[in-house]
Amino acid sequence: MASLSLLPFFTFFRGTPHQLAAIAELERSMPQSILDDSSAWFEAWRASGIDQEVFLPKYYRQLDLPNGYRMCFTSAAAMVARFHGRVLDDEEYYRIREKHGDSSSVYAQVKALTSLGLQVRFVQDATAQQVEHEIDQGRVVLVGWLHSGDLLRGEPPMCGSDSCGHWSVIHGYAGKYSSDSEWIMSDPRGMPDMAHGGHNDALSGYRVRVRQAEFHQRWQADGPDTGWAIFVDKL
């Protein structure tokens, strides 16, 4: 019986269904000592600066959809639906969401995701600890925040000119025990500028790292533990 090296499996990982099934089988066969977050291999992995990240198989740009400037919520929710294997692309999710209401409606997005056989919970009192817990459990999180307002000029977070609030997907965190911790986020509009507000549409918003200290001002604009989030899991 030949001995396998794991490195090629990481190198050629693409998140395909058979690869994900193989990883699940490998995890089930491992002793708990290997899966503990105090294990030696995980400490070595943390040295990369990323404490935990959930693989997001597909990134969607809101500007690729009709009336794209208003589609951040739909594109972000489509990423989550695709993560759970419920849709093939953002256009399929767009058609499903249209049946339930406007893209900016929390009700419409919750109903659309629920119709796909997912367990969906919208909260307005989310904490960073809750988001970390979801990531630790292998789930991604939809977050709503205020993307306008220049923090460096003393402006408060505010609504944008074309929409009030913005939605993106958090699927990792880094530097948890440092003084400058970060979220790993996929933003459907493009590269977010947390300090000054707005986005650079020319740059990808996939797997960007944003400072938690700046993001929390925009996410928890009404004070601690006031974050808007949608937690999604399989039934």
* Contact by Cβ (8 Å): 87, 96: yes
Tell me the mean pLDDT in the region 31-42.
Answer: 82
* Contact by Cβ (8 Å): 124, 231: no
Closest by CA position to 51, among listed 135, 179, 174, 180: 174
The pTM (predicted TM-score) of the whole model is 0.79
Domains of the chain: 7-47 (no CATH), 62-234 (3.90.70.10)
> What are 163-200's pLDDT values in tens digits?
679 999 999 999 888 888 999 999 999 999 999 999 99
Record the tokens describing residue 34, joined without a space.
Answer: 């290997």
Q: What is the DSSP letter of 204?
A: -
Instruction: Give the residues across from 53 on adjacent strands.
Output: 172
> What are 93-136's pLDDT values in tens digits?
999 999 999 999 999 999 999 999 999 999 999 999 999 999 99
> What are 207-216's pLDDT values in tens digits?
999 999 999 9
What gap in Å lies between CA 120 and CA 98, rounded to an integer? Answer: 18
